[in-house]
Amino acid sequence: MIFEVLTIFPGMFSSPLSESLLKKALDKGILEIRIRNLRDYTEDKHRMTDDYPYGGGAGMVMKPEPVIRAVEEIKGRHPEARSILLTPQGEPFHQKVAREMSAHPHWILICGRYEGLDERVRLTAVDREISIGDYVLTGGEIPALVLIDAVSRYIPGVLGCAGSVEEESFVQGLLEYPQYTRPPVFREMAVPEILLSGNHAQIERWRQRESLRRTLARRPDLLDRAPLSEEDQAFLEELKGQEK
């Protein structure tokens, strides 16, 4: 999987990509991330990537030429590459989007900056616009890292344990159940007995119920979309009854 990142702040990517699982994936060659400095795609003496907005107003706007030149150059060499603009105006990023993206081998991530980006970039060089949430960040660099991280987890060999990508929160449409490790008692808080029982069927059932309990308490909106068995539904009804 290849990510080409277009940014005016290439330094923002160094430390997140030099630690942990992403670093290992890069070292193994199963993930490739090419950080491209948009200043390298300018043609003026001062290597300007922004300019004043037509019509006036506060702040600067990213110029169209460097971004469009970069996207066209990459697509010229790799016609299969698809471009994404990170923007609060984009479609919401969800686990499902991450999974879908992992099926495509080559992405160009455009990190917007300043107060905006010339509209003509959207019209000519952007295949898709994605937002990582309803808040405004200083630019698209951190959102690009969020996408890279979430999508890379689906590349075979990135996670140590192959099962974990499908088990965690959101994949089943529910929040994750509580996890424990040693010691069995910490500050008088004991690990739930069932987890020490060795009875895997019972443990599975307990975990599913804790997932349901947590999702109902914290993110009831997720329950509308989660695939629920009859037993799950009965348990939720029981929980709701207890609330009253």
- Site residues (CB under 6 A) for ligand ADE? 86-88, 112, 131-133, 135-137, 139-140, 143
The least CB distance from residue 84 to ligand ADE, in Å, is 10
- Residue number with CB closer to ligand ADE (96 or 240): 96
The least CB distance from residue 147 to ligand ADE, in Å, is 9
H or E element in which residue 92 lies: strand 82-92
Residue type, 188: E
Structural tokens at position 158 = 């990135």
Contact 108, 6 (CB under 8 A): yes
- Residue number with CB closer to ligand ADE (74 or 117): 117
Measured distance CA(146)–CA(87) in Å, rounded: 13
The least CB distance from residue 186 to ligand ADE, in Å, is 37
In the chain, DSSP finds a helix count (H) and a strand count (E) of: 9, 9
- Residue number with CB closer to ligand ADE (65 or 141): 141
Structural tokens at position 217 = 């308490």
- Residue number with CB closer to ligand ADE (6 or 236): 6
- Residue number with CB closer to ligand ADE (131 or 211): 131
The least CB distance from residue 229 to ligand ADE, in Å, is 35
Structural tokens at position 117 = 């980006």
Residue type, 28: K
The least CB distance from residue 175 to ligand ADE, in Å, is 22
The least CB distance from residue 146 to ligand ADE, in Å, is 8
Q: What is the largest CA-CA distance in the chain?
A: 71
Structural tokens at position 114 = 């300043």
Measured distance CA(239)–CA(76) in Å, rounded: 57
- Residue number with CB closer to ligand ADE (7 or 152): 7
Burial of 187 (0-12, 13-18, 19+ CB in 10 A): exposed
